[in-house]
Chain A
Amino acid sequence: MTDLIQTGVAWHDVQRKAYLSRLVTYQRGLDSVSVGATLGTFEEEGFDESGSIIRTRRIDFVVTAADLILDGAVVKPIPGDRIVEGTDTYEVLAVAGGEIYKIVGKAFRIHTRLIDE
């Protein structure tokens, strides 16, 4: 019997990539790949420990897991990876609890913060 949920997840990922994504460059060191990404949660954050406030813009990028190919291999996001979207550069950084990304269907929802604009 057909697994309708599995089929639906795959269909959803295809539709997301086709109609709700933009091309970004995913970088790790000197390796990079162009992938279609959907911009997810947008949030302004402030870190105000020890009297110093650092403001950041946090954005989640949703990327099909199988598209994240660096140096010939499918990889998972790690802290320090970068995503370039237009003139803005985002860095993969952990959110509260230490999570770098979460798996959503067939995609990674990758947590990043703006580091260059």
Chain B
Amino acid sequence: MALIIDIADAIVSSLNDHEFSQDLTAERKYLPIFELPEMAELHVTVVAQSLERTEITKDGTDRADVQVAVFVQKKLAKIEDDGEVDDLMDLAQEIVLYLEGIGTFGGAVWSKTEHNPVVLPEHLDKLRQFTSVITLSLTAM
């Protein structure tokens, strides 16, 4: 299987093997497309995003820089209750710290996390839905 898919699958397995403050089942998708009524339940979606190979020695050894995104999404149930958003923010941070703590997925080593947007304003405003995107950068030699 493609390297980036092995890495994404390893992230999914790690997420599903851990107990977070909220029950979650992560899944890998090529494109996270959902209908709004589905979002009443928490969705954690792992998406392989990019892979860049760089030759690092003259004998042809190369390095693969990979980016994998983790989407944390849920339609808010309560009206004007920032507590629900706070809880989901806590969960997103838990996921970040947990994945950084593991550090290695499918032979690739974590190097950077971008948590951006922490909350997607358009989804919150127009759909009252929490969407947070965690992008992990990893390196495989």
Which of B40, B71, B125, B133 is in CB contact (< 8 Å) with A94? Answer: B125
Total inter-chain residue pairs, C-beta < 8 Å: 76
Among A16-24, A33-41, A45-53, A60-68, the one that faces the other chain is: A45-53
Binary B-proximity of A79-117 (CB < 8 A = 1, otherwise 0): 110000000000101111010000000000000011111
Q: Is the CB–CB distance between A93 and B37 below 8 Å?
A: no
Q: Is the CB–CB distance between A47 and B126 below 8 Å?
A: yes
Which of A49, A51, A53, A114 is in CB contact (< 8 Å) with B122? Answer: A49
Give Cα distance in the complex from A53 to B39, angstroms: 12
Which of B125, B127, B133 is in CB contact (< 8 Å) with A54? Answer: B127
Q: Which residues of B contact A50 (CB under 8 A)?
A: 71, 117, 120, 131, 133
Q: A52-B131, A93-B126 are in contact. Are A29 and B34 (CB under 8 A)?
A: no
The answer, yes or no, to whether A76 is at the interface (CB within 8 Å) is: no
The answer, yes or no, to whether B129 is at the interface (CB within 8 Å) is: yes
Which of B36, B73, B123, B128 is in CB contact (< 8 Å) with A114? Answer: B36
Interface residues of B in 105-135 (CB under 8 A from A): 117, 120, 122-123, 125-129, 131, 133
Chain B interface category by residue count: 20 to 34
Chain A interface category by residue count: 20 to 34
- Interface of A toward B, CB cutoff 8 Å: 29, 47, 49-57, 79-80, 91, 93-96, 98, 113-117
4 more contacts with CB within 8 A, not counting A49-B122, A50-B117, are: A52-B33, A53-B33, A98-B125, A115-B37
Can you report 29 A-B residue pairs in the complex whose CB atoms are below 8 A from each other? A47-B122, A47-B126, A49-B120, A49-B123, A50-B120, A51-B133, A52-B33, A52-B34, A52-B73, A53-B33, A54-B33, A54-B34, A54-B35, A54-B127, A54-B131, A55-B34, A55-B36, A56-B35, A56-B36, A56-B127, A57-B36, A91-B128, A93-B126, A93-B127, A113-B36, A114-B36, A115-B36, A115-B37, A115-B40
- Interface of B toward A, CB cutoff 8 Å: 31-37, 39-40, 45, 47, 49, 69, 71, 73, 75, 79-80, 117, 120, 122-123, 125-129, 131, 133
